């Protein structure tokens, strides 16, 4: 699969990197064919204590969902062209079991249409023996922009 994907890409690709939170980055309108994000899960992924971190800026569930996540999705919707795609990897957690369903509902309310859900296979889990149980699976939601 990886080699197949590489043959689809042009030989020379221009890349722009922005050192901004996704809730602050506003791409050019309609400039994106496909965006993929795996945002930090509220209450679980705390990378640093810097003020730029979503869990620091938006400490409550509702603040995080309607501040950080909503602004991120609004920016994606603005930047993705009509019939473009948003791929979103997010799962519920012990601290926030409905995280993934709340984010999907939010995305649909902001103008995305859910068209597919796939299992994203993550790293091998320590101590598992069965081939099926050796990898953690998380949902990966595929949306189109309406």
What's the mean pLDDT in 100-106?
96
Q: How far apart are the first and last CA of the chain?
A: 29
Helix (H) or strand (E) holding 6: helix 2-8
- Supply the pTM of this predicted model: 0.78
**Does the pLDDT value for residue 17 go beyond 60?**
yes
CB-count burial class (<10 Å; 0-12, 13-18, 19+) for 106: middle
**Does the pLDDT value for residue 4 go beyond 70?**
no
Give the domain ranges of the chain.
2-145
Looking at residue 146, its pLDDT comes to: 83
The CATH architecture to which 2-145 belongs is 3-Layer(aba) Sandwich (3.40)
Q: What is the mean pLDDT of the chain?
A: 83
What's the mean pLDDT in 117-125?
81
């Amino acid at each position: 699969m990886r080699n197949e994907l590489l043959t689809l890409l042009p030989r020379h690709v221009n890349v722009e990197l922005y050192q901004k939170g996704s809730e602050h980055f506003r791409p050019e309108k309609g400039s994106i064919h496909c965006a993929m994000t795996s945002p930090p899960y509220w209450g679980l992924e705390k990378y640093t204590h810097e003020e730029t971190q979503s869990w620091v800026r938006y400490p409550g569930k509702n603040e995080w969902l309607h501040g950080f996540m909503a602004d991120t999705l609004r920016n994606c919707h603005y930047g993705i062209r009509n019939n473009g795609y948003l791929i979103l990897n997010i799962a519920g957690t012990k601290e926030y079991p409905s995280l993934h369903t709340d984010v999907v509902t939010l995305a649909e309310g902001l103008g995305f249409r859910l068209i597919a859900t796939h299992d994203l296979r993550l790293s091998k889990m320590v101590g598992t023996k069965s081939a099926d149980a050796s990898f953690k699976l998380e949902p990966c939601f595929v949306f189109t922009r309406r």
